[in-house]
């Protein structure tokens, strides 16, 4: 009886399992990527990007809003999640809230006053509205973010 046929685990068997497993998981990964890429256009809401939405995003970025807030789960956790703030509060509340900062409420971190123009406020609201219309597959997990 030869060494390889004694029922033990040989180097060749290990190599076959490694290569077979590698090929399987590479193909599985490719299938998942393909499926995700196919679904993104349906859920991204990209077709609703307007100039106002793009301007609102620039305001979001240049004022470093993500340094305190989360947006669809990304960002800091000092302030509320804003992915669904448009649906929760509406446009007029958002504008009034931003204009009314800082509130001076004791024991709270204060949001800075950015002195946004009416057009900048409208653009920020359009960005938050657009963000709220993205299919996030039920994120955030609760209505208050």
What sign does the CA torsion over 60, 63, 64, 66 have? Answer: negative
When pLDDT is averaged across residues 22-38 and rounded to a whole number, the result is 97
pLDDT at 50: 98
Would you call 72 exposed, middle or buried from its count of C-beta atoms within 10 A (0-12, 13-18, 19+)? middle
Q: Taking CA 13 as the corner, what is the angle to CA 12 and CA 15, rounded to the nearest 5 degrees?
A: 65
Distance CA 54, CA 127 (A): 7
Count of C-beta atoms within a 10 Å radius of residue 90: 13
Q: How confident is the model at residue 1 (pLDDT cuts 50, 70, 90)?
A: very low
Helices (runs of H) and strands (runs of E) counted in the chain:
5, 2
Query: Which residues, in sequence order, are bridge partners of residue 74?
Result: 71
Model confidence pLDDT, tens digit, residues 66-98: 999 999 989 999 899 999 999 999 999 999 999
Residue 135, classed as helix, strand or coil, is coil
């Amino acid at each position: 009886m030869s060494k390889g046929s004694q029922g033990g685990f040989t180097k060749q068997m290990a190599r076959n399992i490694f290569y077979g497993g590698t090929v399987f998981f590479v193909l599985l990964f490719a299938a998942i990527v393909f499926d995700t890429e196919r679904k993104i256009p349906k859920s991204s809401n990209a077709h609703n990007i307007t100039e106002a939405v793009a301007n609102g995003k620039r305001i979001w970025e240049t004022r470093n809003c993500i340094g305190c807030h989360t947006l669809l789960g990304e960002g800091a956790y000092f302030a509320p999640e804003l992915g669904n703030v448009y649906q929760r509060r509406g446009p007029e509340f958002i504008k009034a809230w931003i204009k009314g900062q800082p509130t001076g409420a004791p024991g709270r971190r204060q949001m800075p006053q950015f002195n946004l123009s009416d057009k900048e406020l409208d653009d920020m609201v359009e960005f938050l509205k657009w963000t709220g219309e993205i299919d996030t597959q039920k994120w955030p997990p609760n209505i208050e973010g």
